[in-house]
């Protein structure tokens, strides 16, 4: 069994948000509810303040707190690929997983639109879907058991690592490299579209995979590792580009 994971090289990431757009198109995300977000923030103050950015997908944690709090097991750890997925047929919309996620990567679409105009009012849902974008994927690609498709009302959603793509990859593939034409269509959309090649996707359990080597050789770090969630997304950082945010603030506001 693979344990899929992602490596994001922050020295290469330019903060272009192409990943956000690709994910949004691939997964029919509402504007502002980005499964694959790039967060911009400021460090320091004028005149030495700098703008930083930070790409943040779901971490697909090994010890996912969202999995353990879910009272209906709608959020679960996929035994095949080590992904954290949501079964939309079982989710009751209690939002406990959103409370328990240390990374803020979950979305309950049945709320006020974060960006106006509200496209849900433009492309109204049909009762089954919360909205109905004309560019959505074919209906037969909907897979509610794995949280794939247009998000229905009353449930929580999150990044699936493009479950619908990676599960079609040949078994035993150590890395899903978009530069390999044979694997490109099985690679997560954000990885395929990343122009500066800052994203890498592969099997963390395979010591010969490129992602495993990068983590070992370049000291990959995990976000908020002290929570014990053990993310399956690693960051490489030298501080030249994007950066892992430091603690919020030392002093209370």
Partner 1 sequence: MSNNASTMAAPSGLVNTVFLAGIAGAVISVVLVLASLMGEGHASFNTTSDGVVWGLPISNYLFFVIMSTGLTFVAAFGMVFGIKEFYPVAKRCVWLALATLLAGFASLAFELGHPFRMLWALPTSFQIYSPMNWMGVLYGAELVFIVWKMQKLNAGDWDSGVSKKLGMASFVAAILAVAMLGSVFGMMAMRPYWFGGMIPMYFLLSALLCGVALTVLISYIAYGFERNSMPPAMQDLFKGTTSTLYASIPVVFGTVIGITLVALTLRTATGLWSHQDGFQAFNWMVASPWFTIEAIALLAAFVMMMNPGMRAGQGAQIGAAVLVLVAMFIDRYLFVIGGQVVPVFKGAWVSGFVDYTPSLTEWMLVVMSISLCLAIYAFGEKKLRLTDAPSS
Binding site for partner 1 (CB under 8 A): 33, 39-42, 56, 65, 68-74, 90-96, 98-104, 106-108, 110-114, 153-156, 224, 227, 245-250, 252-253
User: Cβ closer to partner 1: 78 or 205?
Assistant: 78
Between 87 and 177, whose beta carbon lies closer to partner 1? 87
**Taking Cα atoms as reference points, which of 89, 68, 76, 35 lies closest to residue 229?**
68
Asked if 39 and 59 count as a contact pair (C-beta separation under 8 A), the reply is no
Q: Which two tokens stand for residue 242?
A: 């994007």
To partner 1, the closest distance from the beta carbon of 68 in angstroms equals: 4
The least CB distance from residue 214 to partner 1, in Å, is: 24
Q: How far apart are CA 176 and CA 71, in angstroms?
A: 34
Interacting residues of 124 by C-beta distance below 8 A, sequence separation 6+: 131, 132
Question: What pairing do the DSSP bridges indicate for beta strands 4-9 and 199-203?
Answer: antiparallel
How many Cα atoms occupy the beta-carbon half-sphere of 180 within 13 Å? 12
Nearer to partner 1, 63 or 197 (CB): 63
User: Measured from the CB atom, is 56 or 199 closer to partner 1?
Assistant: 56
Place of tokens 């493009």: 162
CB of 91 to partner 1, least distance (A): 7
DSSP 227-247: GS---SEEEE--SSSS-----
CB of 176 to partner 1, least distance (A): 27
CB of 205 to partner 1, least distance (A): 24
The DSSP secondary-structure symbol of 169 reads: S
**DSSP code, position 218:** T
CA distance 84 to 79: 9
Residue 178 or 231 with smaller CB distance to partner 1: 231
Integer angstrom CA distances of residue 236 from 64, 159, 206, 230: 22, 21, 19, 16
CB-wise, 209 or 229, nearer to partner 1?
Answer: 229
Token pair recorded at residue 229: 């969630």
Is 141 or 224 the residue whose CB approaches partner 1 more closely? Answer: 224
What is the Cα–Cα distance from 159 to 171, expressed in whole angstroms?
A: 22
Nearest approach in angstroms of CB 160 to partner 1 is: 17
| Residue 39 beta carbon to partner 1: minimum distance, rounded to whole angstroms | 7
């Amino acid at each position: 069994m693979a344990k899929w994971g992602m490596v994001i090289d922050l020295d290469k990431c330019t903060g272009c948000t192409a990943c956000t757009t690709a994910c949004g198109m691939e997964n029919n995300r509402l504007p502002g509810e980005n499964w694959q977000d790039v967060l911009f923030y400021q460090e320091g103050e004028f005149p030495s303040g700098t703008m930083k950015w930070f790409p943040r997908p779901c971490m697909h944690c090994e010890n996912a707190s969202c999995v353990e709090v879910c009272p209906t097991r709608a959020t679960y750890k996929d035994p095949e690929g080590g992904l954290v997925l949501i079964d939309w047929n079982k989710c009751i919309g209690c939002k406990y997983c959103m409370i328990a996620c240390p990374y803020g990567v979950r979305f309950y679409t049945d709320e006020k639109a974060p960006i106006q105009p509200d496209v849900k009012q433009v492309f109204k849902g049909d009762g089954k879907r919360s909205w109905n974008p004309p560019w959505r994927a074919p209906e037969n690609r909907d897979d509610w058991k794995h949280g794939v498709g247009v998000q229905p009302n009353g449930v929580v959603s999150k990044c699936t690592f493009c479950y619908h793509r990676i599960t079609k990859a040949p078994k035993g593939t150590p890395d899903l490299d978009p530069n390999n034409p044979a694997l490109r269509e099985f690679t997560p959309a954000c990885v395929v579209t990343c122009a500066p090649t800052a994203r890498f996707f592969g099997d963390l359990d395979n010591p010969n995979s490129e992602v495993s080597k990068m983590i070992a050789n370049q000291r990959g770090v995990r976000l908020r590792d002290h929570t014990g969630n053990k993310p399956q997304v690693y960051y490489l950082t030298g501080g030249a580009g994007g950066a892992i945010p430091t603690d919020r603030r030392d002093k209370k506001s």
